[in-house]
Structures are given as structure tokens and as C-alpha cells.
With several copies, the nearest count.
Chain A
Amino acid sequence: MKKLINTPDDLLRDALQGVEAAHGDRFRVSYDPAYVVRADAPVQGKVGLVSGGGSGHEPMHGGFVGPGMLDAACPGEVFTSPTPDQMQAATQAVDGGAGVLHIVKNYTGDVMNFDMAADLTRADGVEVEAVVTNDDVAVQDSLYTAGRRGVGITVVLEKIAGGAAEDRRSLQDVAELARRVNANGRSMGMALTPCITPASGNPSFELTEDEVEIGIGIHGEPGRFREKIGPASQIAERLMTPIIEDLPFSSGDRVLAFVNGMGGTPLIELYIMYNEVAKIASAHGLTIERNLIGNYITSLEMAGCSITLLKLDDEMVRYWDAPVNTPGLRWGV
């Protein structure tokens, strides 16, 4: 294992110090409990948005803290859910009197820790709602599992909900919109290589020189199946077909298409994938009205990508286009 770190134990602290050194003008950083909050928090009268999850998915979530998106993010250890005390402190720090929305990816650990935090925070008198993302169509039989994982839609949801919160919409409105985004979004990912967590030092799974793993999660979990690598067009087909069939997306739909890199894939390959995605979307009569291409929800240095499609409505487009000013996403300001 070769990484640009000091020791695995200090990784989170060192990274947070780097974030503070780089973005001290826009963030306040708390180390114990660990969270990052926008400098002007709490914004009075605005719904506060708090997310969090294991580290190793950067820029998500810390890179999405700022006007127009999240108010605070709680980083856990690598691939490990953060703890309730972090979420409780972050929630209090962003409570501007209009309530706080927790954005939680559907993993057992994240859900249980955010649940405990919500209980604690409600006991403190803060109004808290939670929305759980679960857009990963790679998880089948969700009745017999912990349910579908929350992946790419989380980024899109944080942007759209952030726009609505900045527009001073109520907690109920923002939560309802966020749930609609999740309900209309589907994702699937694949890997060319595994990733190595600093604590374990070992690859999360093994692939030979000509195999890819289809249907992976964002924690180095193995996927649905593995196969010999094919051209980009075939890989795009493998991911797009289950996505399109699941909602289903149908001819005439307006969509946002998000091609996400898992961390170790060059941007040029993501554009090649986007080209294939655009072809498949157009063959299905889908109109891509908005797109996002890049490394936004990653899995350390894993090579691979995920695709997310969101069926758009006017309100989503409006808040997607609204100004956002974070290290990870920025436009309109």
C-alpha cells in the first residue's frame, strides 16, 4: 500500500487540518467531534442541511459544504459511518430556527448513527427530518437485504435540496423535494481495480488483468458479477440498461445524467463514457437536459465509474441551476 499519508490513524485529522488551512475563509472545522460547517452558520431562517458518512469518497461530503448546498458535513473514518455525537454537534451548529434536514446514505451504520443523532437532537429541541438515499440498482432483492445503497444521487440531491433551502423553503418542502429526487434517481457503478483502505492495507477484492466488476458499491464491496473487460460502449450498456429498466425511464423523459469517476479513472475516460451514455439515452428517447461529469463520489483510488440518471421536473432543474459555492461544485457565484 502506497499512499500520501502520514499514518492511517492520523489520516482524518491531517486531512481536516488541510481543509482548514485551505478553506479557513469559508469553513469552520471542528476536530472533536469532527465536522466541517460553513463559516456563516447558522443561517437564520434557513433549513440547515447536514450530511456525513465515511471518508474516502471526497469531495463528498465535506467538499459540498457552502452556500447553495450543505451547511455541515460529518466525516467518519475511512469507509466508516461517523458517530451520533458528530451529527448532533453539527446539527446544533447549523440550526437557524427553521429545522435541519439530515441527508443519509442507506447503509446500516449510517442509518443507525443518524437515527441516534436525530433522537438526541430532537431531545435538544431542534426539529430534524431525515432523508435516506437508496438509488443503487445493483442491489437486487432489496426486501432480503439492508436495502439499496445510497450512491450517486446523494450528490445531486444535496445540490437540489441546497438550492431549495437557500430559497428559504420550509423543512417539509425541502424534505419532500429531496425524497422526490431520490425516488426519481437511479445509479449503478463498476470497477476496473479495487481500492485499498489505509487501515487494512489490502485490496478490497481481486481482479485479474482483464476483468471488471459490475455493480460495485462505493466501499470496495464486490459487485453483482464480474466479466472480461469490453469496450466503453459495452460497459455503458451494462450500467445503463438496469438503470433505465428499473424506474423505468421512458421515451420523452427529461433527465440529468451524471457520470462519476470512482477516484482513479482519468477524466478523459469519463468523457468517453459520457459519450456512450448520451448515445444510449438518445436511443431510448431520453433528453439529457443537465449533466455532471467528474470525480464527485469516489472510492479512494478505485478505477471505474458510476452512472446516475435523474428524471427531472421543473423544480429540480430550477434548484440544480441555482448558485452554489463549495470547493467541489461551484457556479452562479
Chain B
Amino acid sequence: MTRFAASMAEHREELVQLDTAIGDGDHGTNMDRGMRKALEKLGAAEQADAGAVLKTVAMALISSVGGAAGPLYGTLLLQMGTALEGKDDVDLETYTAAWRKGVEGVQARGKAEPRDKTMVDALLPALQALERAPDLDSGLQDAASAAERGMLDTIPLIARKGRASYLGERSKDHQDPGATSTYYLCQTAAETLAS
């Protein structure tokens, strides 16, 4: 978690810039605020397992991020947390299943389809990478690379969900901020396991 928070703090400005271009300029600040709040909450309470940790983080994000990203990342982690609850050892299979639950939750809440230029365009490729991976370690690496490709692939798209959709054609040639924060989170997850 400390690393996730550090990653969001590090990329705060970049996410703000991306969101200023096609949104309202708050994505970086929102994610940074949420992650700091999550750290605080985690510090305050002992956590039973990975599932409990994720659920605490999810609740912290939901009650502090706001905007579109709050409910979406909140839902992602809440669903993942529920799937991992009581699991002592997280292997590729359980992790992939949890990620699948999470992405389904995001799509249920936000109704975004692939290529709508949202975080879903990074979340789904990551899921597919996990599904094809031989083990957890390379799964996380592949997921991060897939999320990065997904993120870059949002650049030419016309947004059809979220605030960027108001821009129509003018949303082209900009990278989606939500897909970008998803990539940074996947990347941090991969680095964390590796170290």
C-alpha cells in the first residue's frame, strides 16, 4: 500500500495534466488524497488478510476520492477484497479470479465498454494477460505491460464515457487519465511482488 500511495503521489501532477486536457483536472489530486487516506486507515487497524486490506482500502477510496474514480476504484478493490477474503496465500488463480470480479464490478457500475476511453481499457487487457500467464510473478509483469499498452491505445480514441465524452472529436489524441492511473497501479503491484 505504501508503494501504491507513493506511486500516486509521484504521478499526481501527470494525472492532473492529463485530466486537465480532457476532463476537469482533478484525477491526480483525487487519487493522491484517496491513497493517503487509505494509508491512514490501514495504520489504524490490524488487518486479517489481503482481502481485509483491500476492503479497508476500498472503503477509504470510496469515502475520500469522490468524482468518477472514487466509486470505480472503490468497487474494483471491494470486489477483489471480497474474492480474496479469508485467503491466506494468494496464487495466480485466486488473484486472477479476484481481478475478474473487480473489473466486472467496475463495468457494472460505470457501464463502460472497451474502447470507450476509460480505465476499463487498461483493466481488461490486464485481466487477459493474467489469464494467459504461467505464474503470479510473470502474470503481474504481463498485466502491467498489457495495462500500459491499453493505456497508450486510449490515445486515438473518442471518449464515450465520463467527462471526456463531452469533448467528442476533441477528446482524440489525449491519453485517458483513469487508464493511466490503472497502469501505474498495475506497475506498482508487479514491482512489489518482484522485490
Do A and B touch, yes or no (CB under 8 Å, in the complex)?
Answer: yes
Residues of chain A having any CB pair with chain B under 8 Å: 8, 33, 54, 76-86, 107-109, 112-113, 115-116, 138-141, 144-146, 149, 197, 199-200, 202, 204, 217, 219-222
Which chain B residues lie closer than 8 Å to A144 at the CB level?
160, 165
| Interface assignment of B193: CB less than 8 Å from any CB of chain A | no
Q: In the complex, how many residues of chain B place their beta carbon closer than 8 angstroms to a beta carbon of chain A?
A: 33
Give the contacting residue for A145; candidates B26, B33, B67, B168; CB below 8 A: B168
Given A83-B63, A149-B166; A78-B26 close (CB under 8 Å) = yes
Which residues of B are found within 8 Å of A138, using beta-carbon distances? Answer: 166
* CA of A238 to CA of B109, assembled, Å: 36
Main secondary structure, interface of A, reads: loop
List chain A residues, Cβ under 8 A from B167. 221-222
Measured CB to CB, the residues of B under 8 A from A are 16-17, 20, 23-26, 29-30, 33, 62-72, 109-110, 159-163, 165-168, 170
Quick one: closest A residue to B16, CB to CB?
Answer: A200
- Other contacts beyond A81-B68, A112-B72: 19, CB < 8 A: A79-B24, A80-B24, A80-B66, A81-B67, A84-B63, A108-B68, A108-B161, A112-B109, A139-B166, A146-B162, A146-B165, A149-B166, A200-B25, A202-B20, A204-B24, A220-B25, A221-B23, A221-B24, A221-B167
B23 in contact with A77 (CB, 8 Å)? no
The secondary-structure label for the interface of chain B is helix
The answer to whether residues A108 and B62 also contact, given A80-B67, A145-B168 and a CB cut-off of 8 A, is no
Contact partner, B24, options A33, A83, A146, A197, Cβ 8 Å: A197
Report which residue of A149, A199, A217 has the largest number of chain B beta carbons within 10 angstroms of its beta carbon.
A199
Q: Which residue of A lies closest to B64 (CB)?
A: A83
Contacts of B161 in A (CB 8 A): 108, 145-146
A80: chain B residues within 8 A (beta carbon): 24, 26, 29-30, 66-67
